[in-house]
């Protein structure tokens, strides 16, 4: 049964997240993207009286919604406004150093998409904003009106994997010479005119996703944030990450592979000289079933990956070791 929060966000794979993440009912858990508190609520119900939940979100509207929803759990639930790349510092302010589980549910909430004044949606008119929180320095309007043609092409290619990137970026640069683009539907109509009928919806989704990722700096800090989360886990603790597109999922896979790797020395050496031990083991990858996708179409693109922290200290991350070797 899906725990619905129609006014804010319906949590994806709720029961799976709970089953895979909770190892100690009295443990401390972190929700790095608490949103409307949907996953948090499901998991707090499962935890014992001593179990605690610390929710983080960069969006003040999410912090308010989650605080309201989790109020009935009293001191067992804390909601903090901040970015997950500051995870360790945020935990320190809560007097916590090691945790039993960390959840990342990446991307935007349904509330952010549905609130037209936030400017995330290409099907409702609103200001071209797309900032998830006050920490984002530039709005979508700043990006589309100020970035160079080359940079716009790079954004659309890298974060949207859009084939018509050059055509769309050129059209934006021509249009903004006349007057700056200020509204979501202005941009959506302009983009729609650059592609053929059947491609329009997918292209709009890719271009709006690309601008959102640029505005909120979503991808670059993700690797460090996930590594930091593995580091704060106690042995036996678990990290679960829900991602919604291949760019995010690639980073998750890379960090999990890196954490679970032992020897990182040259493969033609007869014995391992690097003495590296794995920090974690990868447990599972879960996709939503047909009935959940039917009830909540957002679940269609979701992938949940879970890894478990092993005994032993924090090692040098493989990518870091390779960079410095
Ligand atoms: C998919 S929603 C989470 C929904 C939540 N699991 C629930 O059940 O309601 C993603 C949330 O992550 C937040 N977010 C995105 N990037 C963040 C970051 N770097 N730090 C903290 N929160 C972030 C967004 O503001 C959004 O509220």
Question: 35 C-alpha to center of ligand 1: Å?
Answer: 5
Element (H, E) at 18: helix 14-21
pTM of model > 0.90:
yes
Whether 56 is in the pocket of ligand 1, judged by its Cβ within 6 Å, is: yes
More confident residue, 116 or 312: 116
Ligand 1 atom nearest to CA at 84: 20
pLDDT at 265: 73
**Is the pLDDT at 165 greater than 50, yes or no?**
yes
Mention every residue, 6+ apart, whose C-beta is less than 8 A from residue 302.
Answer: 12, 13, 242, 243, 244, 287, 288
Whether 69 is in the pocket of ligand 1, judged by its Cβ within 6 Å, is: no
Whether 57 is in the pocket of ligand 1, judged by its Cβ within 6 Å, is: yes
**Is the pLDDT at 65 greater than 80, yes or no?**
yes
pLDDT at 164: 97
**Is the pLDDT at 323 greater than 60, yes or no?**
no
Whether 228 is in the pocket of ligand 1, judged by its Cβ within 6 Å, is: no
Whether 14 is in the pocket of ligand 1, judged by its Cβ within 6 Å, is: no
* Mean confidence (pLDDT) of the chain: 94
Whether 51 is in the pocket of ligand 1, judged by its Cβ within 6 Å, is: no
Cα 275 to Cα 112, 227, 254, 272, 309: the distances in Å are 46, 20, 21, 7, 18
Rg (CA), the chain: 21
Mean pLDDT for the stretch of residues 44-59: 97
Question: 33 C-alpha to center of ligand 1: Å?
Answer: 4
**Is the pLDDT at 94 greater than 60, yes or no?**
yes
pLDDT at 51: 97
Other residues' Cβ atoms within 10 Å of the Cβ of residue 158: 15
State whether residue 40 is helix, strand or coil. Answer: helix
């Amino acid at each position: 049964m899906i725990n619905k929060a129609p006014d804010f966000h319906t949590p994806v794979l709720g029961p799976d997240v709970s089953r895979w993440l909770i190892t100690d009912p009295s443990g401390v858990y972190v929700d790095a993207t608490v949103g409307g508190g949907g996953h948090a609520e499901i998991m707090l119900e499962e935890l014992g009286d001593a179990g605690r939940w610390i929710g983080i979100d960069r969006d003040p509207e999410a912090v308010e919604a989650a605080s309201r929803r989790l109020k009935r759990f009293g001191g067992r639930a804390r909601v903090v406004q901040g970015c997950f790349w500051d995870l360790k510092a945020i935990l320190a302010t809560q007097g916590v150093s090691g945790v039993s589980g960390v959840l990342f549910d990446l991307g935007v909430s349904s509330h952010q998409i549905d609130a037209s004044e936030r400017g995330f949606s290409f099907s409702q008119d609103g200001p071209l904003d797309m900032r998830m929180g006050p920490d984002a320095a530039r709005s979508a309007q700043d990006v589309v009106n100020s970035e160079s043609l080359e940079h716009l092409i790079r954004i659309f290619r890298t974060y949207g994997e859009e084939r018509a990137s050059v055509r769309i970026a050129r059209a934006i640069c021509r249009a903004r010479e006349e007057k700056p683009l200020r509204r979501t539907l202005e941009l959506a109509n302009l983009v729609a005119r650059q592609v053929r009928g059947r491609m329009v919806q997918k292209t709009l989704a890719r271009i709006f996703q690309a601008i959102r990722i640029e505005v909120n700096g979503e991808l670059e800090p993700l690797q460090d944030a996930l590594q930091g989360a593995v580091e704060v886990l106690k042995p036996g603790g678990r990290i679960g990450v829900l991602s919604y597109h291949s760019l995010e999922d690639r980073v998750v896979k890379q960090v999990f592979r890196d954490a679970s790797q032992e020897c990182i020395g040259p493969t033609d050496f007869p014995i391992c000289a690097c003495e590296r031990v794995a920090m974690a083991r990868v447990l599972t990858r879960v996709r939503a079933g047909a009935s959940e996708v039917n009830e909540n179409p957002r679940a269609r693109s979701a992938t949940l990956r879970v890894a478990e922290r092993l005994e032993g200290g924090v090692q040098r991350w493989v990518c870091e070791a390779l960079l410095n070797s």
